[in-house]
Amino acid sequence: MKQKSQLSLSRRKFVKTASIAAAGLSMALKTPLALAAAKVKMGFVYVGPRDDYGYNQAHFEGKAALAALDWVKAVDEENVPETIEVQKTMESMIQLDGAQVLFPTSFGYFDPHILKIAKRYPDTTFLHCGGLWDAEKHPKNVGSYFGYIDEPVYISGIVAGHMSKSKKLGFIAAIPIPQVLRNINNFTMAARSIDPSITTTVVFTGGWSDPVKEAEAANSLVDQGIDVLTCHVDSPKVVVETAEKRGIYSCGYHTNNAVLAPKGFLTGAEWSWATVYKNYAELIKNKQPIPNLVRGGLKDGIVKVSPYGAVVSDAAKADADKALASFMDGSMVVYKGPIKDNKGNTVIPKGKSYLQTDTWLESMDWLVEGVVG
């Protein structure tokens, strides 16, 4: 009873006090924001931890590179689930940190979360990592950026094709979405360009982060005689470490995984988001329009190949460097017919070819000949 009497503010009085306080607070907040307006403010949201050797770390490294630019202020938040949580995070970055541009990096953030918040904040730019922006359907202050990570994966495939003795490669994948299937196909076609008898066995774990299943998949694949392993999951750490433990070769993904497998590491596909994020920062600083779609591969510096491991043979290096050079000068066409899928149907007829930039490739739903899975 005593406690209640202490709190017995009348409702009217409470509203009055609260609104005065709120007005004061918002004024107090506005002043420092206005003073610091010269800085470009960017916000980054990751679905997982920013030091997982994987997707999130790659984005974090990109964000960290912005620290070199003293006219940029970058904030970030990790472990934000693909739920209403990400909406709250985005709103607080806009309202409290004054973010002009947001980079919610996970696939599942886009629909409905970014779309919903973007309508509410038309002055803020939302750039999503992935390939989902559509000019006809989606707001103008939203855009997407992505890199052709399948290009360095192709290089990994060439090295894997050279180094494999059993002619059986393994690929541990999370979920069969187009980006994942494209990586599997590039890896397989590259290896088969070295030796057409090579096959790639795929295990889908059904989730982006499931370490026990990834380890189990790696062990099962090694038991089947596979001697080069790579993956497309959120964090390649478990897969690469298990491969090393079982004494086989591995190709990394997302970031440089060489330290995880000092003996068996061959090479890997890495993101290089620093380039992308610096470019966006420059555009905002110079008040230039921000393109809604940004794509790029090896030659644009958005993705890169991990340095070759010590065991990689000279022949493998030579072929890999040759492919790298043709990616760099733009002459490489991976999807050149005739290409069959692993059920024997011709998906790309003879004479037809798809360039890297072709959006048809972003809706891939087939696995190439030579893939088991």
Partner 1 sequence: MENDIGLWSVLIAVLGGAIRVGTPFIFVSLGECLTEKAGRINLGLEGNLIMGAMTGYAVSYLSGSPWLGVLAAGSSGCVLGILHALLCQNKQVNDIAVGIAMMLFATGIAFFYGKAFIQPSAPHLPSIGFGNWSSSPVIKAALDINVLFFLGVALAPAMAWFLRTTRWGNAVRVVGESSDAALSLGMNINRVRLLSTMAGGGLAGIGGSYLSLYYPGSWSEGLSSGQGLMAVALVIFARWNPMNCLYASLLFGGAAALGPALQSVGINWGYYLFNAAPYVLTLVIMIAASSAKGTVRGMPGEFVK
Spatial distance between the Cα atoms of 105 and 219, rounded to a whole number of angstroms? 31
| Smallest distance from partner 1 to CB 51, Å | 5
Spatial distance between the Cα atoms of 370 and 350, rounded to a whole number of angstroms? 18
Q: Does 319 bind partner 1 (CB under 8 A)?
A: no
Structure-token match 């990751």, residue found: 46
Q: Does 198 bind partner 1 (CB under 8 A)?
A: no
- Of 159-167, 240-248, 278-286, 349-357, the window that binds partner 1 (rule: CB under 8 A) is 240-248
Q: How far apart are the first and last CA of the chain?
A: 69
- Of 125-133, 154-162, 241-249, 343-351, the window that binds partner 1 (rule: CB under 8 A) is 241-249
Name which of 102 and 203 has its Cβ closer to partner 1. 203
| Smallest distance from partner 1 to CB 98, Å | 26
Q: Does 237 bind partner 1 (CB under 8 A)?
A: yes
Name which of 241 and 270 has its Cβ closer to partner 1. 241
Q: Residue 27 CB: number of other CB atoms within 10 A?
A: 9
| Smallest distance from partner 1 to CB 81, Å | 12
Q: Does 209 bind partner 1 (CB under 8 A)?
A: yes
Q: Does 193 bind partner 1 (CB under 8 A)?
A: no
| Smallest distance from partner 1 to CB 318, Å | 31
Backbone angles phi, psi at 317, to 5 degrees: -60, -40
Spatial distance between the Cα atoms of 107 and 133, rounded to a whole number of angstroms? 12
Name which of 210 and 362 has its Cβ closer to partner 1. 210
- Of 153-161, 190-198, 214-222, 275-283, the window that binds partner 1 (rule: CB under 8 A) is 214-222
Q: Does 217 bind partner 1 (CB under 8 A)?
A: yes
From 76, 150, 214, 369, residue interacting with partner 1 (rule: CB under 8 A): 214
217-223: list long-range contacts, CB under 8 Å, 24+ apart.
217/172, 218/170, 218/172, 218/242, 218/243, 218/246, 219/246, 221/170, 221/172, 222/170, 222/246, 222/248
| Smallest distance from partner 1 to CB 246, Å | 7
User: Which parts of 43-82 interact with partner 1 (CB under 8 A)?
Assistant: 48-49, 51-53, 79
* CA distances (Å), origin 241, targets 6, 56, 371: 61, 19, 24
Half-sphere exposure of 329 (CA within 13 A, CB side): 6
